[in-house]
Amino acid sequence: MEGAKQAIFEYCRKHGALAAGVADLAACERIAPPGHRPRDLFPRVKSVISLGVGGQTQGAWQLPAKAMAYSGSTEARAYKIAYGLAFFIEHKFGAPSVYVPPDMDPEAGPRVPLQSLKLHAELAGIGARSLAGDILLHPQFGFMYYASVYTELELEPDAPMQDNPCPAPSCVNLYRQTGRTPCMKFCPAQCLSGEVDAEGRQKMMRYDMAACAEFTQQYEAVPKILAEAVADEVRSAGGERLLDPDTKMLWYKVSAGSGAWFAQCFECMRVCPIATRAPQADPILRRKA
């Protein structure tokens, strides 16, 4: 089992993943809501593999917001690795595997995923929740995009990270002076707030996801824009159809899901010392290390 795990991690590393880990399946099942648990999707799943990609140059963090929004996302790279990894496991170990679809489930709730890739990564120990709306951060790799593979191959789960890198010491200092960390201060939607305890750890995180989405999840604007375009002030049956969850998925697919529209604004990550100065996110530094 240990050899298989090493082979899987090696595959991930060779194909560009910064980090990989195995989440505890039982914990996933216990924490995810009904309908969104690994076994709801893949009943004979034995292991949940999570991998992360990312890494931006220092220059990339200086891009205008519009350019960051269009070019900052690297999730497609993660999906590609996970997609290949599922085949790799099947060929190498003969265990049925599946690349976990990263899309949303508009029938479940607002911006609720089919399966929580964030939960997998957190339980697999390759990210910890930050004050920036629960975006996962890693002390060495910073801000990553995650992808998951479910497999019938049994693998030893990893433990969550021992320590949470958020808030960084400089953020604690700012919080103590102003009551806000940089991500809270510079969020254009002002959707973040929270508290840091006396030891400099997260005490409370508050995230107004609806406000955040107004700035970034532009696919959600489509039905309203269309309704306004036809002056559908009284919600007609046609107008209501625009809001149908299945139709909403269509907006997502033709917009953010196609990689063509805003899906993140990155302003909280732009001011995050963990995201922007992660030493191992830089492949040259990583090789030297």
Smallest gap from residue 240 Cβ to another protein (A): 5
In contact, 72 and 56? CB cutoff 8 Å = yes
Q: Which residues contact 181 (CB under 8 A, 6 or more apart)?
A: 131, 167, 171, 172, 174, 175, 194, 196
Give the C-alpha separation, 143 to 121, whole Å.
12
Smallest gap from residue 24 Cβ to another protein (A): 8
DSSP 8-state assignment for residue 67: H
Pick the closer one to another protein by CB: 154 or 232: 232
In contact, 152 and 79? CB cutoff 8 Å = no
Give the C-alpha separation, 151 to 99, whole Å.
9
With CA atoms as reference, report the closest residue to 33 among 92, 114, 104, 111: 114
Smallest gap from residue 90 Cβ to another protein (A): 30
Smallest gap from residue 105 Cβ to another protein (A): 9
Pick the closer one to another protein by CB: 18 or 265: 265
Backbone angles phi, psi at 219, to 5 degrees: -60, -25
Smallest gap from residue 111 Cβ to another protein (A): 7
Give the C-alpha separation, 115 to 147, whole Å.
10
Pick the closer one to another protein by CB: 181 or 218: 218
First vs last Cα of the chain: how many Å apart? 28
Distances (CA, A) of 207 to 36, 129, 191, 281: 22, 12, 6, 26
Pick the closer one to another protein by CB: 118 or 286: 118
Pick the closer one to another protein by CB: 41 or 112: 112
Smallest gap from residue 45 Cβ to another protein (A): 19
Smallest gap from residue 31 Cβ to another protein (A): 6
- Round the CA-based radius of gyration of the chain to a whole number and report it: 20
In contact, 136 and 130? CB cutoff 8 Å = yes
